[in-house]
C-alpha cells in the first residue's frame, strides 16, 4: 500500500515535471536558445523529481551549479563589454567633434561626393549627421551654404 502511495505521488510530480518541461520547450523553441532562467528551471525540476530513495549524486549537482554560475558570469561579461564599447564610441565621437570645432572660421576646400567638383568656403558650424561629424560652410563669393562630410575636405587654411 505504501508503494502505491509513493508511485501515485511520483506520478503526480512527474506530471508536473512534464508540463513544466513542455512550457520550457515552448519558450526555448520560440527563442531558439536556452537562457539562464530555463537552465535554472530545468535544474530545479530535476532536483525536485529525483527519487528520494535513490537521490542524484552530489558531484553531478555541483557540476551543474558550476555550469550555471559560469553561464551567468559569461552573460554578465558580455553585457559589460557591450556597455564599454558604446562608451568608447561616444568618447571617440566627442573627441572628434571637439577637434573639428577648431575649424570654425577657417577656410576649407572640399570635393563633392564624386570627387570631381572642388569648392572653397568658410566653416560656420559643426554638426553630427548620424555618428559622422560634418561642417556647414558658406561658399566664398555667393554665400551659399553646404554641408560637407569631414572625409571630403582636401585643404584647411
Q: Are residues 106 and 86 in the same domain?
A: no
Q: Are residues 20 and 88 in the same domain?
A: yes
Place of cell 560637407: 148
Q: Are residues 106 and 77 in the same domain?
A: no
Q: Are residues 87 and 131 in the same domain?
A: no
**CA 139 to the chain's CA centroid:** 42
Q: Are residues 21 and 64 in the same domain?
A: yes
Q: What is the pLDDT of residue 79?
A: 92
Q: Are residues 151 and 132 in the same domain?
A: yes
Q: Are residues 86 and 11 in the same domain?
A: yes
Give the 3-state secondary structure of residue 137. Answer: strand
Spell 42-56 as b/e; 16+ CB within 10 A means b: beebeeebeeeeeee
Q: Are residues 28 and 72 in the same domain?
A: yes
Domain stop point among 69, 94, 119: 94
Bridge-partner residues for 111, per DSSP? 118
- What CATH code is carried by the domain that includes residue 124? 2.30.30.30
Q: What is the pLDDT of residue 82?
A: 92
Bridge-partner residues for 133, per DSSP? 128
Query: In a structure prediction context, what are the per-residue pLDDT tens digits for the chain, which is 157 residues long?
Result: 343 444 444 444 444 444 444 444 444 445 556 677 787 788 788 878 887 787 777 787 788 778 878 888 998 999 999 999 888 877 877 777 777 788 888 988 888 877 778 888 888 888 876 667 788 888 877 778 888 888 888 888 8
Question: Is residue 146 classed exposed, middle or buried when 0-12, 13-18 and 19+ CB atoms within 10 A define those classes?
Answer: middle
DSSP letter at 104 equals T
Instruction: Round to whole Å and give the CA distance between 144 and 157.
Output: 19
Bridge-partner residues for 119, per DSSP? 110
Locate the DSSP E strands across the chain.
107-111, 118-129, 132-139, 145-149, 153-156
Q: Are residues 108 and 89 in the same domain?
A: no
- Tell me if 71 sits within 8 A of 35, measured CB to CB: no
| Global pTM value | 0.43
Question: What's the number of domains the chain is made of?
Answer: 2
Place of cell 587654411: 157
Structural domain of 143: 102-156
The CA distances from residue 30 to 27, 33, 70, 115, in Å, are 5, 8, 24, 49
- Tell me if 119 sits within 8 A of 107, measured CB to CB: no
Amino acid at each position: 500500500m505504501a508503494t502505491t502511495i509513493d508511485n501515485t505521488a511520483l506520478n503526480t510530480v512527474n506530471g508536473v515535471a512534464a508540463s513544466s518541461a513542455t512550457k520550457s520547450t515552448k519558450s526555448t523553441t520560440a527563442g531558439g536558445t536556452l537562457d539562464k532562467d530555463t537552465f535554472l528551471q530545468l535544474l530545479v525540476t530535476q532536483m525536485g523529481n529525483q527519487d528520494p530513495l535513490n537521490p542524484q549524486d552530489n558531484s553531478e549537482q555541483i557540476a551543474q551549479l558550476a555550469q550555471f554560475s559560469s553561464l551567468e558570469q559569461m552573460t554578465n561579461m558580455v553585457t559589460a563589454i557591450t556597455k564599454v564599447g558604446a562608451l568608447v564610441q561616444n568618447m571617440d565621437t566627442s573627441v572628434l567633434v571637439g577637434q573639428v570645432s577648431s575649424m570654425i572660421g577657417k577656410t576649407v576646400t572640399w570635393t563633392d561626393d564624386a570627387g570631381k567638383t572642388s569648392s572653397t568656403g568658410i566653416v560656420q558650424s559643426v554638426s553630427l549627421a548620424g555618428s559622422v561629424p560634418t561642417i556647414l560652410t558658406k561658399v566664398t563669393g555667393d554665400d551659399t551654404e553646404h554641408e560637407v562630410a569631414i572625409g571630403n575636405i582636401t585643404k584647411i587654411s
